[in-house]
Amino acid sequence: MTAETVLYEGKAKKILATDSPEYIIQYFKDDATAFNAEKRAVIPGKGIVNNQISARVFSVLAEAGIPTHFVRTVSEREMMAKRVSIIPVEVVIRNRATGSLVARLGLEEGQVLNPPLIELFYKNDALGDPLITEDHIRLLKLADDAQIAEMKRLAQRVNAVLLPFFESRGLLLVDLKLEFGIANGQIVVADEISPDTCRLWDLQSGERLDKDRFRHDLGRVEEAYREVWRRVCA
């Protein structure tokens, strides 16, 4: 299958058509944005590393029986995935308090969240991806009750599988953002799972090894992505 038309171009990826209507190619760019694209940069090699980390993580989820859109890696920067209709809800699951949760509720940075906390956001750049309730999701008809329940159930399973996966590689999975798609009536984990979409802290030192290095100008951004790649893929 050869990639042809660009179906969609996002901030960090392009979605390309294949010669089959059932499959697309996700092309991972080196572009990075933060704070609703107010901050922009190129992180050399990020696309390669995120493609490979995502592929490995999706394979681990598939082995655990969790449905994902991932089919196979096609090149350094490209993976083939099932074509899905993306549900415009970002599901965030948190094991520790940080980021927007601390800013919103004033919790202590790093506080353990047990059980893990699930939050729902409206995937809408024009509105700045606001936090929404299940009633908002019903009002906006973004998903029905069964789909909301299934996304939350899958998010808990993904977290339960990935916590020990990363821990055995010396990484604390602090939180992650999931997007779901519908293919043939089934809800599957879509998009990517990488240091762009998860927070990962070194288990020993607590050092941040994710996009927060870019967001907050912590330096050594490329090195952090590469270190996650080394621990997950090498």
Report how far apart, in Å, the C-alpha atoms of 5 and of each of 57, 78, 115, 126, 184 are.
27, 14, 43, 25, 23
Strands 70-75 and 39-42: unpaired
Does residue 101 interact with ligand 5GP by CB under 6 A?
A: yes
| CB of 92 or CB of 224, closer to ligand 5GP | 92
Of 56, 77, 96, 199, the residue at the interface with ligand 5GP (CB under 6 A) is 199
Tell me phi and psi for residue 168, to 5 degrees: -70, -10
Task: Check: CB of residue 190 under 8 Å from CB of residue 13.
Answer: no
**CA dist., res. 96 & res. 165, Å (int):** 17
Q: How many residues bind ligand 5GP (CB under 6 A)?
A: 14
In the complex with ligand 5GP, the residue whose CB is nearer, 78 or 191, is 191
Binding region for ligand 5GP (CB under 6 A) out of 55-63, 132-140, 180-188, 194-202? 194-202
Q: Is 73 in the site for ligand 5GP (CB under 6 A)?
A: no
Interface map 122-161 toward ligand 5GP (x if CB under 6 A): -------x--------------------------------
Q: In angstroms, rounded to a whole number, what is the distance separating the alpha carbons of residues 180 and 195? A: 18
Interacting residues with ligand 5GP (CB under 6 A): 90, 92, 99-101, 129, 175-177, 196-199, 211
